[in-house]
């Protein structure tokens, strides 16, 4: 690891730590702990609760990192990571991270009509930036299909970035200006493939900005880090359930948590959770402290690569430690495994971010030694 990354970042302290804890408490109060809601919304469209989404907007979630001058809350990634953790812990299907990305772009573009509706949770504005898997680069075709738009069936507006000539133009389309086809995901949600209806002129919908390239790159990195935090929240929730099970389930007249083989698997999972938390929180603190450029991107990639890989390993271990009941759809630990399968590749999977980390922060021979 490079010297800059090895230096470490001080944890959040004092008033900032209290603010972050208040975000967590507020999120837990709004999301609740009843997984029946999550199950009831699966395998249907739009797949999330519009009323709860409005409540999230009223609570300031969607505009958490949007500057106050643009109508947001103006808080940092430390608060955003805490919020995303709780969303992951609750397995909430509402596309909070995707909406935060759209809010970031609209604020950067200076858009003042749809942005207030989005921040209030009244408009569902999703960004269709991706035309293929395993990429962080925006699409270059104005007319081609965009893929992997989360919970797209509920969209009221679509943001349509187009990379050309070294710039990324931003267009905005309403729901009646696009065709959306959906494909179910393992967790009962869906991804949408979005195609603009035939248009005349220089681009689809309404052209709202000439170049949001820097804002999009920053927004995608933020979304990747928030997704890593959601994976972390899901890991911790599943691991807590698993520890409770190991402490109470009996077999052959003994608590199964006393079996050494199971203790070893649980210890490995706990280490993965702890390492993921360290990576996610260090990245959030560093970016809030002003770190930018390649060093910031490297920290984000390290966190997302670890969260994606550790998330799958921990969730699989939790299912296995539950035995047969862990594989049933009625048991909550299975919901977290399915959600992890969807979040792990979102905004770049482990392999993509591991490659990017090595490109941006390669180890020198001295450091490797």
Distance CA 102, CA 118 (A): 8
Distance CA 175, CA 169 (A): 20
Say if residue 46 is preceded by a cis peptide, omega within 30 of 0.
yes
Looking at the chain, list the stretches that DSSP marks H as alpha helix, in order from N- to C-terminal side.
Answer: 3-6, 14-31, 35-41, 50-58, 77-89, 96-109, 114-119, 213-248, 260-288, 293-322, 332-343, 350-360, 365-368
In a 13 Å sphere around the CA of 61, the CA atoms on its Cβ side amount to: 32
Distance CA 295, CA 167 (A): 23
Nearest CA among 157, 150, 207 for reference residue 177: 157
pLDDT in the model for residue 361: 85
| Pairing mode, strands 125-127 and 206-209 | unpaired
Distance CA 72, CA 242 (A): 38
* Phi and psi angles of residue 174, each rounded to the nearest 5 degrees, phi first: -90, 170
DSSP at 44 = S
pLDDT in the model for residue 137: 96
- Strands of the sheet with 206-209, listed across from one edge: 125-127, 157-164, 167-174, 206-209
Nearest CA among 343, 340, 218, 182 for reference residue 269: 340
- Helix (H) / strand (E) element for 13: namely none
**DSSP conformation letters of 289-357:** TT--HHHHHHHHHHHHHHHHHHHHHHHHHHHHHHGGGGGSTTSHHHHHHHHHHHHTTTTS-HHHHHHHH
Residues 6+ apart with CB under 8 A from 60: 72, 73
Nearest CA among 132, 154, 131 for reference residue 142: 131
Domain boundaries, the chain: 214-368
Q: Residues 274, 277, 282, CA angle at the centre, nearest 5°?
A: 130
Q: Residues 302, 303, 309, CA angle at the centre, nearest 5°?
A: 90
10-residue stretch averages of pLDDT, the chain, 369 residues long = 42 84 94 93 97 98 97 97 98 98 98 98 98 96 95 98 96 97 98 90 86 98 98 98 91 83 94 97 96 96 98 97 86 95 98 97 50
Burial environment of residue 85 by CB neighbours within 10 A (0 to 12, 13 to 18, 19 or more): buried
CATH superfamily membership of 214-368: Butyryl-CoA Dehydrogenase, subunit A, domain 3 (1.20.140.10)
pLDDT in the model for residue 365: 41
Nearest CA among 200, 304, 320, 219 for reference residue 269: 320
pLDDT in the model for residue 13: 78
Distance CA 321, CA 300 (A): 31
């Amino acid at each position: 690891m490079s010297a800059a990354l090895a230096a470490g970042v001080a944890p959040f302290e004092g008033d900032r730590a209290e603010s972050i804890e208040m975000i967590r408490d507020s999120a837990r109060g709004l999301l609740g702990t009843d997984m029946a809601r999550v199950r009831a919304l699966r395998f249907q469209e739009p797949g999330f609760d519009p009323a709860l989404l409005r409540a999230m907007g009223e609570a300031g979630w969607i505009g958490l990192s949007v500057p106050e001058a643009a109508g947001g809350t103006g808080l940092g990634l430390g608060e955003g990571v805490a919020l995303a953790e709780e969303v992951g812990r609750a397995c909430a299907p509402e596309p909070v991270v995707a909406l935060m990305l759209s809010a970031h772009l609209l604020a950067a573009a200076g858009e003042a009509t749809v942005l207030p509706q989005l921040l209030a949770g009244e408009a569902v504005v999703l960004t269709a930036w991706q035309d293929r898997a395993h990429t962080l680069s925006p699409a270059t075709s104005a007319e081609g299909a965009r893929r992997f738009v989360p919970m797209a069936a509920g969209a009221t507006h679509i943001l349509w970035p187009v990379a050309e000539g070294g710039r990324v133009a931003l267009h905005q389309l309403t729901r009646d200006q696009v065709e959306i086809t959906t494909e179910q995901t393992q967790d009962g949600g869906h991804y949408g493939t979005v195609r603009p209806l035939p248009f005349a002129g220089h681009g689809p919908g309404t052209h709202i900005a000439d170049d949001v390239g820097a804002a999009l790159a920053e927004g995608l990195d933020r979304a990747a880090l928030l997704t890593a935090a959601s994976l972390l929240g899901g890991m911790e929730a599943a691991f807590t359930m698993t520890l409770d099970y190991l402490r109470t389930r009996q077999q052959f007249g003994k608590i199964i948590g006393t079996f050494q083989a199971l203790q070893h698997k649980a210890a490995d999972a706990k280490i993965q959770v702890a390492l993921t938390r360290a990576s996610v929180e260090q990245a959030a603190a560093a970016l809030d402290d002003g770190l930018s450029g390649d060093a910031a991107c490297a920290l984000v990639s390290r966190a997302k690569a670890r969260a994606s890989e550790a998330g799958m390993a921990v969730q699989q271990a939790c299912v296995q430690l539950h035995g047969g009941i862990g594989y049933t759809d009625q048991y909550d630990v299975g919901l977290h495994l399915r959600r992890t399968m969807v979040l792990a590749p979102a905004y770049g999977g482990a392999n993509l971010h591991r490659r990017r980390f090595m490109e941006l922060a390669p180890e020198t021979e001295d450091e490797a030694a």
